[in-house]
Amino acid sequence: MDTKETTENTSSSINSSWSCLPEDLILEILKRLPVKSLIRFKSVCKDWKSIINDPNFGKSKQTHSKTSEYLSSSYIILRSDNSMFTLNLDLNNLAGRKNRERKGYNILCSFNGVLCVHICDTENIFMWNPITDEARLIPSPSGMDLTRIRLIGFGYTFIKLAKLKLSRDMNHDFGVAIKDRHNLFIYDMQNNRSKPDVVEVRENGMILENDHTLLATTGHGRVLIFEKRFGKINWLNDEGIRMEKLLVFDASQGKRFFIEVNNEYCVPYKSGETVYQVVNYVPSLLSPKSL
Amino acid sequence: MASSSSSSLSRVVVKSSDNNLFVVNKKVASQSQLLKQCIDNMEEKGTNDVILIPLSNVTSNILTLVLEYCEKHADFADDDNNNQELKQWDHEFLKKFDYATLNSLTMAADYMVTKSLLNLCCQFIADSIKDLTVQQIRQIFDIKNDFTPQEEADIKNENAWAFR
């Protein structure tokens, strides 16, 4: 009898001691967990699931990047033979590995840890988070030659582009833009529909911009995305040639101008290396499905 | 250090929730932003009396631990933060405690705004729960599973790789 009581006391004191941790301290602890644990702990209860799924949580987690093996800023490098490898990120540990076995794919861009991937020889374009292995299919734009994609970007506000007004609502900041030689397709992830072509497109330059991302083509078929948030250019053109100038279009003011590209903003590139694309990749828990 | 004026205090007295008094060197107390704030406020007023700071949320056994931490870190205050010896000490320090103590210590660190101790505790807890099962987590944090069996199965299926 005595023994039993003691046991019960002990277990209840352990329980109560942990359950009385205030929510902000629970959050502090969760932030420091590796991604794999977090994915598992989504099924603990609804509260934890919504904390972990919250895009802001993924972002705050990045500030603890030093503490987890998964959470270091990385580059995903795609070579011209479609082999992909990473620096500081071991994709072998990720379920997304199956994508390696496919015939080929292009990483078109990345934003907050979500990659935009085109599976070669198909119409399929996915938003894919390799860390959580969640993916979302983007309906393929009709009448576009996906083998000749010129430009894809996402993470900007087309609400702003449509109305030339700035939307501060983060939820409106996500979309996909795909451009081939002649057409521009913009897909609104938030509302699940295509948007009419409201962006100025020119052979010599096109522009999409929000607080985080500036997307620009310059003349000579060169394509660059400048991600202000990380201060890095995250896309090199086919020849790996660094751009020296970026065309900037300020949609809210209707002005365009060039900016010089400072070398310190450039991704590392060794001359002669057959790097096809370099994506500055910051792992996150952002779910493409929740965009 | 030498610049501190003659009117400033060198020691404060901290009172725990169970009414024990601790005499604390100012440099040590300054490791806690809460204590530092109290001291700064008093010094601004030009008080020469000994300051008594009551901490209604912290028991004396936990306060002892926080002060032990502060004392060690005050010794290293002028070093850079990456001191290996200090890191080693931090780890050994936390290793001694059971979950209940660690929990109280975390809350005390939060309350007393001792940021580095709070970081240390949260990281330590995270490290010690990261490999637990969902069931164990629910038990430890006393969380009720509010998913239907179907919902739970769906989450597990979606993220099957994380459960391997």
| pLDDT tens digit sequence for B12-47 | 899 999 999 999 998 899 999 999 998 888 888 776
Please state the domain count of chain A.
2
Spatial CA neighbour of B14 closest among B53, B66, B58, B68? B53
Q: What percent of chain B has pLDDT over 70?
A: 87
Alpha carbon distance B36, B33 (integer Å): 5
Pick the range with the lowest mean pLDDT from A144-158, A174-188, B62-76, B112-126: A144-158
**CA A36 – CA A95 distance, rounded (Å):** 11
Confidence (pLDDT) at A79: 40
* B138 CA: distance to closest CA in chain A (Å): 6
Determine whether the interchain pair A44/B163 forms a contact, defined as Cβ–Cβ distance below 8 Å.
no
Query: Once rounded to an integer, what is the mean pLDDT over residues B121-125?
Result: 92
Nearest CB to B122 within list A15, A22, A28: A28
Q: Which domain holds residue B78?
A: 11-158
- Asked if residue B101 is part of any domain, the answer here is yes
Is B123 strand, coil or helix? helix
Q: Are residues A61 and A89 in the same domain?
A: no
**A43–B147: do the CB atoms touch at under 8 Å?**
yes
Residues of chain A with pLDDT under 50: 1-17, 62-103, 150-151, 153-174, 196-257, 259, 261-283
A18/B141 CB distance under 8 A:
yes
Q: Which of these ranges, B59-63, B129-133, B152-156, has the smallest mean pLDDT?
A: B152-156
Predicted local confidence at residue B32, as pLDDT: 94
Nearest CA distance, B48 vs chain A (angstrom)? 37
Residue A72 placed within a domain:
no
Among the ranges given (A184-193, A271-280, B60-69, B107-116), the one the predictor scored with the smallest mean pLDDT: A271-280
Asked if residue B5 is part of any domain, the answer here is: no
A203 and A180 in a common domain:
yes
Nearest Cβ partner for A18 among B127, B140, B159: B140
Helices B134-141 and B115-129 pack at an angle, to 10 degrees, of 140
Of A21, A47, A67, the one marking the end of a domain is A67
* Same-domain check for residues A21 and A95: no
For residue B137, being part of any structural domain is answered with yes
Domain that holds residue A230: 77-290
Q: What is the pLDDT of residue B142?
A: 82
User: How many cross-chain Cβ pairs, A to B, lie less than 8 Å apart?
Assistant: 96
Q: pLDDT at position B22, please?
A: 93
**From B131, B155, B161, residue closest to A43, measured CB to CB:** B155
Same-domain check for residues A92 and A159: yes
Kindly identify which residue of chain A lies nearest to residue B106, measuring between CA atoms: A25
pLDDT in tens, A110-126: 555 666 777 766 777 77
Which residue of B103, B130, B146 is in closest CB contact with A33?
A: B130
CB A48 within 8 A of CB B129: no
Higher pLDDT, A103 or B108: B108
Chain-chain contact of A19 with B106 (C-beta, under 8 angstroms): no
Q: What is the CATH number of the domain that holds B107?
A: 3.30.710.10
Question: Of A67, A87, A116, which one is at a domain's C-terminal end?
Answer: A67
Domain membership flag for residue B164? no
Question: What is the pTM assigned to this prediction?
Answer: 0.55
Do residue A33 and residue B140 have CB atoms under 8 angstroms apart? no
Interface contact flag, A19 B141, Cβ < 8 Å: yes
Contact A119, A81 (CB under 8 A): no
Percent of chain B whose pLDDT exceeds 90: 47
Please tell me whether residues A96 and A31 are part of one structural domain.
no
Whether residue A31 sits in one domain with residue A173: no
Query: Are A44 and A148 part of one and the same domain?
Result: no
Strand partners, B45: none
pLDDT of residue A63: 47
Chain A partners within 8 Å of B142 (Cβ): 15-16, 18-19
Domains in chain B: how many in total? Answer: 1
Residue A198: what pLDDT? 40
B36-75 burial, b for 16+ CB within 10 Å, e for fewer? bebbeebbeeeeeeebebebeebebebbebbbebbebbbe
A184 vs B6, residue with greater confidence: A184
Residue B88 counted as domain residue: yes
Higher pLDDT, B95 or A21: B95
What are phi and psi for residue A127, nearest 5 degrees? -95, 130
A176 and A253, same domain (yes or no):
yes
Residue B62 lies inside a defined structural domain of this protein? yes
Q: Which of A40, A65, A91 to mutate to test the interface with B (most CBs of B within 10 A)?
A: A40
In a domain, A43, yes or no: yes
Residue B3's contacts (CB-CB under 8 Å, 6 or more residues apart) are none
Q: Per the CB < 8 Å rule, is A41 touching B159?
A: no
Residue B122 domain-assigned?
yes
pLDDT at A135: 74
Residue A31 forms part of a structural domain: yes
Residue A123 and residue A177 in one domain: yes
Shared-domain flag, residues A128 and A163? yes
Nearest to B138 among A28, A42, A44 (CB): A44
pLDDT at position B10, please?
77
Is the ipTM here above 0.90? no
The reported pLDDT for the residue numbered A142 is 66
